Structure 1
């Protein structure tokens, strides 16, 4: 039986092992991604229960502010806005809407009131004009001192990027990703070491801020993991059944009873 299953079927055996290895590895990776999202969601939920920090009065590091609620007062600098492309419309858990719609995250510096420093704010999502990529959607930006509340993050999220970053002097600046250190270097100003993702979803400024929780999509990871493990099992069963059939045929040819 060993010869029928393995020795005489080296190519089939190696192919089955490859399918099993790929399926199990991908399944485990999907489970790990689900676990990461759950842990991130638990961490964020715990930190959101902590007191609100004040960007105008507190001297904050990234470690102190990360995933904490932040209050900031200042004046936006619309001329320095960065439009992050290829961002899906944020849809909260259980919410309805066109989750696949692509658009921009609007990153805008806020000059802190009473300080010689800025904090970058992810003001929200705006839809993209599919006919003309450089035509930006209208948004409302107040020209007076405003108070915003949001959550601090190291960056607004990253997407795969090809090629070089655009000219920082171009207008409008449409980028794939946002580099906090590069912005500080190119502008030569003092800025806080984190970005603030604005939270007020009721504000009427043309932007969407229905931010999903970090655990959004966990069920999808479990579904993908099941599919990959099923593929690995199917590969093993296909190899095993065909091997047993070959073994039975050999017994029949040799005149042995099966």
Structure 2
């Protein structure tokens, strides 16, 4: 009886099970490291672009490539009747800040009709808490009737969450959605709109919304911790398989009368 037969061919089920654990643990650990690296690169890119001059939505002809992750200044009137409430969004807590990070609520997406133009800019105005007992009872949010000037950062979308089934009815009131689709909104409303959304930055505005947006690198340490746990699982699976195999091999040597 050689050690190869004892460890592998004589324990096919155990070997395959250990291999699955190692592959799953190693793959998940690598994925977590990649997610951390993506967040670090995004944070570096955003930091660099925030140092660039502010773009003006009313004066500049902007596309997503030009405006992405840049500061945007826009003047216009909000259209509160067309607001979309994005559900299942965690309360934004900045790095080192305090608050209930597990609290779920809404991102309030509202179109801004640009002053002097027939163009609409979708604005993520901020986060509002959800009524856990009655989902469609929306929190009070103040919206100015007059012309306003907002400043924020341009993104392709407000972030996506896992979604089951079809999107809700665009004519429903209130419109509570899981995700936001710029192209779909342009098609359903038939209006001209800029090809990006702006996440409003003013956290001092007293309108019932929270805008303490965290850094893109928020959670990097958590990804490293998860990666360690997954790699530890993979290593534990390998060691368990190896130690049990060696013990089986030693027992077989004793049974066969070989010297251990």
TM-score, structure 1 normalization = 0.98
1:75-94 to 2 correspondences below 5 Å: 75-94=77-96
User: Matched residues in 2 for 1:126 and 1:59: separation?
Assistant: 32
User: Matched residues in 1 for 2:18 and 2:161: separation?
Assistant: 34
User: Matched residues in 1 for 2:163 and 2:228: separation?
Assistant: 30
User: Matched residues in 2 for 1:115 and 1:239: separation?
Assistant: 68
User: Matched residues in 1 for 2:184 and 2:20: separation?
Assistant: 43
Q: Give the aligned partner of residue 99 of structure 1.
A: 101
Q: Deviations over 1:128-168 (max 9, x none)?
A: 00111110000110011111000000100111111221221
- Structure 2 residue runs of 5 or longer lacking an equivalent are none
Q: Give the aligned partner of residue 26 of structure 2.
A: 24
User: Matched residues in 1 for 2:249 and 2:169: separation?
Assistant: 68
User: Matched residues in 2 for 1:176 and 1:15: separation?
Assistant: 38
* 1:57 correspondence with 2:75: no
* 1:134 correspondence with 2:136: yes
Question: How many residues are paired up?
Answer: 258
Q: Deviations over 1:54-91 (max 9, x none)?
A: 00000000100000000000111111111111111000
Q: CA RMSD in A?
A: 0.8
CA apart distance, 1:3: 1.5
User: Matched residues in 2 for 1:113 and 1:247: separation?
Assistant: 80
3-state SS in 2 of match to 1:6? helix
User: Matched residues in 1 for 2:8 and 2:187: separation?
Assistant: 62
User: Matched residues in 1 for 2:133 and 2:4: separation?
Assistant: 63
CA apart distance, 1:14: 1.2
TM-score, structure 2 normalization = 0.98
- Structure 1 residue runs of 5 or longer lacking an equivalent are none
CA apart distance, 1:256: 2.5
CA apart distance, 1:254: 2.1
Q: Deviations over 1:166-220 (max 9, x none)?
A: 2211111111111101111111111111000000011110000000111111111
User: Matched residues in 2 for 1:222 and 1:134: separation?
Assistant: 38
Q: Deviations over 1:70-117 (max 9, x none)?
A: 000011111111111111100001111001101000000011111111
Q: Give the aligned partner of residue 111 of structure 1.
A: 113
Q: Give the aligned partner of residue 243 of structure 2.
A: 241
CA apart distance, 1:255: 2.3
1:1-258 to 2 correspondences below 5 Å: 1-258=3-260
